[in-house]
Amino acid sequence: MISPAVRADAAGFTLIEMVVALALFAVIAAAGAGLVSTVLDAQRRTAGRLERLADIDRTLAAVTRDLTEITDTPLVGGPATIAFARHGMPLRVDIGYRQAGRAFQRVAAGQPQLAIDDVTAVRWHYLAAGGWQDRWPADPAQAVRWPAAVRLDLDLAGAPGGHVTRLIDLPVRPLPPGTAA
- In eight-state DSSP terms, residue 11 is -
Q: How far apart are CA 137 and CA 66, in angstroms?
A: 19
pLDDT of residue 166: 96
How many structural domains comprise the chain? 1
Tell whether 136 is covered by a domain.
yes
Tell whether 103 is covered by a domain.
yes
Q: DSSP letters along 69-103, please?
A: TB-SS--EE-SS-EEEEE--SSS-EEEEEEEETTE
Strand partners, 132: 127
Q: In what order do the strands lie in the sheet with 119-128?
A: 131-133, 119-128, 149-156, 162-169
Report the amino acid identity of residue 120: T
Name which of 34-48, 117-131, 138-152, 154-168 the model is least confident about: 34-48
The tens digit of pLDDT for each residue in 89-147 reads 778 899 999 999 999 999 998 999 999 999 999 999 999 988 999 999 988 888 888 99
Q: How far apart are CA 103 and CA 113, in angstroms?
A: 10
pLDDT band at 168 (very low <50, low <70, confident <90, very high): very high
Give me the domain span that covers residue 79.
31-169
Q: Does residue 8 surpass a pLDDT of 60?
A: no
Tell whether 22 is covered by a domain.
no
Q: What are phi and psi of 73, to 5 degrees?
A: -135, 165
Handedness of CA 129, 133, 137, 140 (dihedral sign): negative
| Residue 101 or 181, more confident | 101
Tell whether 54 is covered by a domain.
yes
Strand partners, 117: 103
Tell whether 63 is covered by a domain.
yes
Q: Is 59 helix (H, G, I), strand (E, B) or coil?
A: helix
Tell whether 42 is covered by a domain.
yes
Tell whether 84 is covered by a domain.
yes
Q: What are phi and psi of 30, to 5 degrees?
A: -65, -40
- Region 135-163 average pLDDT: 89
Which of 108, 120, 116, 152 is CA-nearest to residue 134? 152
Tell whether 9 is covered by a domain.
no
pLDDT band at 181 (very low <50, low <70, confident <90, very high): low
pLDDT of residue 156: 94
Structural contact between residues 136 and 74, judged by C-beta atoms closer than 8 angstroms: no
pLDDT of residue 142: 86
Name which of 5-14, 59-68, 92-101, 147-156 the model is least confident about: 5-14
